[in-house]
A = this chain, B = another copy of it.
Amino acid sequence: MPAQRPRQSEPRGKGRPRAFDRAQALNKALEIFWRQGYAPASVAELCKAMEINPPSLYASFGNKANLFLEALRHYEHTYWDAPARRFLAEADVYSAVEQFFQEAAEILLSPETPCGCMVVLAAVNISEDEKEIIAAVRALRLATKTMFADRFRRAIQDGQIPADTDVPALAGALNTLLEGLSLQARDGLFQSELKAIAAHAVRMLPPRSQHA
């Protein structure tokens, strides 16, 4: 039974047309990886969610690891690009931290996938020889910490926090709290509880400096 083929914007190729929407299948895979993590998400379950058979998965995405990496990039852009942009755009560093952590709490317990951050959790307890996956999520976590640090250095230049602030430690502390929120989300906290915790992030900033 020839399923109604999805309208593809790309120019039609030569052979038999693909019967599934690649982007839609990737989204389904993302949801599985997000909820379960990399290792426990079996290819069989991924195929079931994507509504394709293994050969289609391997033809389109290479292998399980590559599928994950592609889903991870998609996740990062879809959910975190905008909050990160707003974090950097907000002029006041205290408001920026407050707002970012509230938005984070909303993403980590979003109704569709209330299971923390994929970058933080998906590759915990993974086999050590999945080097590419470990490196990918690690790089994204490091990028968040670097984003915090850069923002705090700017806040020093703007005279919002003291010049002798230990920026790496402060950025590390906020990053630690942020990653910890993912564990709380997995532990079943309500969004109200998560937001009440997230509100404590800004307390770790040094007191607003009284610049001349």
Contacts and interface: CB of A to CB of B under 8 A. Distances in A.
A172 B185 CA distance: 12
A191 to B, nearest CB: 13
Contact of A124 (B121, B172, B199, B200): B121
Query: Interface residues of A: mostly helix, strand, loop or mixed?
Result: helix
The interface size bin for chain A is 35 or more
A151 to B, nearest CB: 16
A125 B124 contact: yes
A155 interface: no
Q: How many copies does the complex hold?
A: 2
Interface string A34-55: 0011111000000000000000
Contacts of A183: 120, 124, 176, 179-180, 183
Interface of A: 36-40, 120-122, 124-127, 138, 141, 166, 168-170, 172-173, 175-181, 183-184, 186-187, 189, 193, 196-197, 199-200, 203-204
